[in-house]
Structure 1
Amino acid sequence: MNLKSRLAVMNFFEFAVWGAYLTCMSNYLGSAGLGDMIPWFYAIQGIVSIFMPTIMGIIADKYVQPQRLLGISHLLAGAAMLFCWWMGVEAGIGNELPNKSLFVAMYTVSVAFFMPTIALSNTVAFSALKKNGFDTVKDFPPIRVLGTVGFIATMWFVNCAVWQDGSFFFTLQENSYKFQYTYMQFFVSGVLSILLCAYCFTLPECRLEEKREVSLLESLGLSAFKLFKTKKMALFFIFSALLGMCLQVTNGYAGPFITSFKGSADAAVATSFAANNATLLTSISQVSEALCILMIPFFLKRFGIKTVMLMSMFAWVFRFGFFGIGSPTMPGVLMFILSCIVYGVAFDFFNVSGGIFVDQECEPSIKASAQGLFMMMTNGLGATIGTLAAGEIVNSYCSWQNVMINGQSQSFLVGDWQTCWFIFAGFALVVGVSFALLFNPGKK
C-alpha cells in the first residue's frame, strides 16, 4: 500500500471513531437517565478543545513522535469509551445507569484524549507527505475527504446494525435494539479507536526536530490574542464565537428531534422511514459537507470572503428553520433533507474560509497561534456556550417521556420543538445581519 493510501486509511478511521456516536448518543443518553445532561456531553468536547490540543501539540513537538502519540491517545480514548459501553451493558437496554457520575467521567476522559487526535492526524499526514516530496496543498485534500467518508460509514452502520437476543443483523425498520439507540454505539467507537491505535504504530516515523526556544506565552498560542487590538480582527473573532454557538446544536438535538416522531399517535408518522432512521437521514449533512469543501475556492474567487462567510451564517438560519417546518412524512421530510443539504454551506463556508482569512491577515510569526485562536473561539468557547444555551432552551420546551411501542417502553424527547428551532434560527439571523453591517474586511 502506498503512502497516500495508508494516510487515507488513517483518516478514515480517525473520523469513523467520532461518527459512531456524535450524532446519535443523545438517543441513548435519554433512555439512560441522562437526558438533562445532553448539552454537557457536547459542551465537554468544546471545553477540552480549549486546552488539550495545545498540551498534546507541545508533547508531540518535543517529547513523543506524533504518530506514536496519536496511537497512545486513541488507546486511552478507546479504553475509556469501552468502559462506557460496559457500564451500559451492566445496566441493560432501556434502563437508567446506576452510576451516572462515573459514566460522565469516563466519557470525559475519552473525549479529552480523542479531540487532540484530529490535529495530530493532520500533523502525521503533513509530515509524511513533505518527507516524501508530495505537495500538501494538492495531495492532502483527497486524503482528508476519506475522513468524512469514514464518519458517514459509521453513521450508516450504527443506524442499521442490531444486536438482539444474541443475533446480529441490519435493518431499516423500527427496532429499539439498533445501535443508534443503545450503548453499542460506544462499543463501535471504542473498538475502532483501539484498532487505529495499532495501525498508528505502523505509520512512517515523524522525527522530532530541534526547535527554537519560545516563551510559555508563545507555546500556548496566547501571543495571537494581540490581534484583538485591531478592530477588524476583534470583530472577526467575536463573530467566530457567536457562530460557533450554532455548531453542536444539531449534532446534539437533530437525532432526538427526528426520533421523537416514533412516539406519535399517527401510525404513518411513527413508522415513517425518517423517524426510524434519524442517523441515516442526518448523514446527508456530512455528504453535503464533503461536497461543499470542493466548492469553496470557486465561491471565494467569485464573491470574496465576506460574502462567503455571510452565506454560511444565513445557511444556519435555513438549517434550523427547515427543521422547524419539517416532518418525517411527505412532503415535510423534504424540509429535513434540505436542512441537511445546507449544512455543508453552514459548516464549511465559515470554518474553511475563516481559516483562510486568518492566514491572510496575520503575520507569519503568529499564523499557527492565530489558527489556534480561531478554533478556540469557534469549536471551544462558542460551541460550549451555544450547546449549554441550546440545552436550556430545549429543556424548557421539551421533556423526556416514555412511550410504549410493541410492548416495550421507549424514551423520547417530546414537546414544542418548532419553537426551539425557530429560536435558534432567529439567533443565527441576528448574527448574520449584524455581521453584514459591522464587519468590513476590505479588499485583498
Structure 2
Amino acid sequence: MGESIKVRLTIMSFLQFFVWGAWLITIGNYCTKTMKWDFSEFGAIFSTMGISSLFMPTITGIIADRWINAEKLYGILHLLGAIALASIPSVNNPGTFFWVIFGAMICYMPTIALSNSIAYHVLKNHQFNIIKSFPPIRVWGTVGFILAMWTTNLCGFKTTEGQFYIAAVSAVILAVYAFTLPACPPQHHNLEEKNSTKEVITNAFKLFANYKMAVFFVFSMLLGASLQLTNMYIDTYLEGFSKFPEYVNSLVVKYSTIISSISQISETLFILAIPFFLKKFGIKKVMLISMLAWVLRFGLLAYANPSDGLWMIIVSCIVYGMAFDFFNVSGSLFVETSCNPRIRSSAQGMFMMMTNGVGAILGSYISGIVIDTYFNSGDRLNWTGIWLTFSVYALVVAVLFAILFRHKHSPKDLADISH
C-alpha cells in the first residue's frame, strides 16, 4: 500500500511538470522568432507567470486550508488551464496573447504549491519520512519536464503552436487523474480551533514579522528573478547561433531544446543529493551554494559557443541543476518546518508568490527592457553582455544573502520535517 501511494504521487509529479515543460523553454522562440515580437513585449508576456503567482498560490492555499480538498481544487485548476492553453494558438497579437496566457497561468501557477502540499499531506498520513521520500517523487517531475521538452523539439514544435496543444492535452489527463488521488481535506477539520479566514490570511502574512522568514521571502523573490532569466532566454540564446554561418548546422542549433534539457537532467541528480547536503551543511549554506551556482551558470554562458565553447554550455546546464534544486526544494522544506500546520498551504503559496510572482515579474520586465535598451542592435543580440549582467546580479544577491540571512544549522530542523 505504501509503495503504491508513492507511485501515485510520482505520476502526479511527472504530469505536473510535463504540462509546463512542453512550452516554458520554447515560448521565447515562438514569440520572438515566429511571431516576431520584440523582447520587451515578450518580457511582458512571460511576466504573466509572475503576476498570477502574486495572488493565486496564496488564494488557492487559503481555499485548500479552509474549504475544499486540495486534490479536487488541483484537478479543477488543471482542467481550466487546459482550456486556456488550447486557446493560445488562435491569438496573433501580443496584447491579446498576454491575456490568454495570463488566464492559463492563473490556473497553472498555484498548482505547483498545491502539488507540494498534497504530497506532504499524503506522505505524512502514511507515516513516511518526507526528507527521504519527497525528493525521489519530485525528481520524476523533472523527468516529465525533460520528456516534454524533447517531445516539443523532436516533433518540430519548438517554434510553432504545437507546443501549446501538447501542454493542453497533458493538462486534461492530469486534471482527470487528480480526482483519483487520496483525499487531502482542509486542515481546520482536524484542529480543535477553527480560525476565521481573515485570521488565516493575517497569520500567513505575519510571517514577514519574523526577521528570518522575511529575509527568506525577500531572497526567494531575488532568486525567482534568476530562474526567470534562464527560462526566458536559454532556448532563444542557443537558437540564435543559427545567425552565424559557422554554427548554423550545429547540433546546438538543431536540437537547442534537447541541449538545454541537460539542465533538467542535472536536476534529477542534484535533487536526490539534497538530503545529504541539508544534513551536512544546513539550509543556509545549501541556499548560498544555489546562488553561487547561478553566478557560474550565467558566467559560462557569456563565453560559450557551439564548437570549442560547447563544454561551457554543457557545464552551465549541469550547474543549473544545483542552482534550481538547492534553493527551490530546500526552500519548500524550510517553509514546511518553520510554519504552523494551520497555514502551511498558505505559506507554501506565499513562497511560490515571492519566487514565481514578484521575482518573476521583476526578472521578466526589467530584463526585457535592459536587453532592448543596451544589448539589442536590431540584427544581433550581445549575449556576452547579457549573461555577464545576469551573473553580476546573482553574485550581489549571494553576498547579501550570506550577510543578512541568519540561520544556524540544526539537525532538529530535519527531524521536524520528517514527522
Deviations 1:287-322 (A, max 9, x none): 111211122232233333333222111111111111
User: How far apart are the structure 2 equivalents of 1:352 and 1:180?
Assistant: 28
Deviations 1:6-53 (A, max 9, x none): 332222111100000001111001121433322223221112112112
User: How far apart are the structure 1 equivalents of 2:63 and 2:17?
Assistant: 22
Name the SS for the 2:380 alignment partner.
strand
Q: Classify 1:294/1:132 alpha carbon distance in 2 versus 1 (closer, same or farther; 3 Å).
A: closer
Q: 2:49 aligns with which of 45, 51, 66?
A: 45
| Aligned residue number for residue 171 of structure 1 | none
| Aligned residue number for residue 114 of structure 1 | 108
| Aligned residue number for residue 304 of structure 2 | 326
Name the SS for the 1:441 alignment partner.
coil
| Aligned residue number for residue 31 of structure 2 | 29
| Aligned residue number for residue 386 of structure 2 | 420
Q: 2:285 aligns with which of 304, 307, 320?
A: 307
Q: Is 1:70–2:36 an aligned residue pair?
A: no
Deviation at 1:230, TM superposition (A): 4.7
User: How far apart are the structure 1 equivalents of 2:342 and 2:25?
Assistant: 37
Name the SS for the 2:47 alignment partner.
helix
| Aligned residue number for residue 7 of structure 1 | 9
Deviations 1:294-352 (A, max 9, x none): 222322333333332221111111111111010112x2111111111111121122223
User: How far apart are the structure 2 equivalents of 1:383 and 1:246?
Assistant: 8
Q: 1:105 aligns with which of 90, 99, 109?
A: 99
Instruction: Tell me which amino acid in the other structure corresponds to 1:19.
Output: G
Q: 1:343 aligns with which of 320, 331, 356?
A: 320
User: How far apart are the structure 1 equivalents of 2:186 and 2:208?
Assistant: 33
| Aligned residue number for residue 288 of structure 1 | 266
Q: Does the CA-based 8 Å contact 1:58-1:219 persist in structure 2?
A: yes
Deviations 1:87-128 (A, max 9, x none): 16xxxxxxxx2x443322211111111112223333444444
Q: Classify 1:339/1:374 alpha carbon distance in 2 versus 1 (closer, same or farther; 3 Å).
A: same
| Aligned residue number for residue 157 of structure 1 | 151
Name the SS for the 2:58 alignment partner.
helix
- Structure 1 or 2, whichever has the larger Rg, is 1
User: How far apart are the structure 2 equivalents of 1:365 and 1:112?
Assistant: 24
Q: Does the CA-based 8 Å contact 2:263-2:321 persist in structure 1?
A: yes
Deviations 1:256-276 (A, max 9, x none): 111011122x2x311100012
User: How far apart are the structure 2 equivalents of 1:370 and 1:117?
Assistant: 14
CA RMSD of superposed structures (Å): 2.7
User: How far apart are the structure 2 equivalents of 1:252 and 1:201?
Assistant: 32
Greater alpha carbon shift after TM alignment, 142-151 vs 371-380: 371-380
Instruction: Tell me which amino acid in the other structure corresponds to 2:161.
Output: Y
After TM superposition, the score normalised by the length of structure 2 is 0.87
User: How far apart are the structure 1 equivalents of 2:328 and 2:253?
Assistant: 30
User: How far apart are the structure 2 equivalents of 1:125 and 1:435?
Assistant: 29
Instruction: Tell me which amino acid in the other structure corresponds to 1:15.
Output: F
Higher relative contact order at CA 8 Å, sep ≥6: structure 1 or structure 2? Answer: 2
Equivalent residues in 2 for 1:132-151, closer than 5 Å: 134-151=128-145
Q: Is 1:188–2:166 an aligned residue pair?
A: yes
Q: Is 1:354–2:354 an aligned residue pair?
A: no
Unaligned runs of 5+ in 2: 411-419
Q: Does the CA-based 8 Å contact 2:113-2:345 persist in structure 1?
A: no
Q: Does the CA-based 8 Å contact 2:81-2:103 persist in structure 1?
A: yes
Instruction: Tell me which amino acid in the other structure corresponds to 2:56.
Output: M
Deviations 1:56-78 (A, max 9, x none): 23333444433332222111111
Q: 2:22 aligns with which of 20, 28, 44?
A: 20
Q: Does the CA-based 8 Å contact 1:394-1:417 persist in structure 2?
A: no
Instruction: Tell me which amino acid in the other structure corresponds to 1:32.
Output: M
Deviation at 1:233, TM superposition (A): 4.2
Q: Is 1:214–2:195 an aligned residue pair?
A: yes
Name the SS for the 1:152 alignment partner.
helix
Instruction: Tell me which amino acid in the other structure corresponds to 2:35.
Output: A
Equivalent residues in 2 for 1:216-295, closer than 5 Å: 216-220=197-201, 222-264=202-244, 266=245, 268-295=246-273
* Length, aligned pairs only: 403
Q: Classify 1:218/1:208 alpha carbon distance in 2 versus 1 (closer, same or farther; 3 Å).
A: closer
Q: Does the CA-based 8 Å contact 1:15-1:151 persist in structure 2?
A: yes
| Aligned residue number for residue 383 of structure 1 | 360
Q: Classify 1:108/1:135 alpha carbon distance in 2 versus 1 (closer, same or farther; 3 Å).
A: same
Deviation at 1:365, TM superposition (A): 6.4
Q: Classify 1:214/1:291 alpha carbon distance in 2 versus 1 (closer, same or farther; 3 Å).
A: same
Deviation at 1:366, TM superposition (A): 5.8
Q: Does the CA-based 8 Å contact 2:60-2:110 persist in structure 1?
A: yes
User: How far apart are the structure 1 equivalents of 2:64 and 2:334?
Assistant: 27
| Aligned residue number for residue 404 of structure 1 | none
Q: Provide the identity percentage.
A: 45
Q: Does the CA-based 8 Å contact 1:240-1:377 persist in structure 2?
A: yes
User: How far apart are the structure 2 equivalents of 1:397 and 1:366?
Assistant: 44
User: How far apart are the structure 2 equivalents of 1:199 and 1:310?
Assistant: 37
Instruction: Tell me which amino acid in the other structure corresponds to 1:16.
Output: F
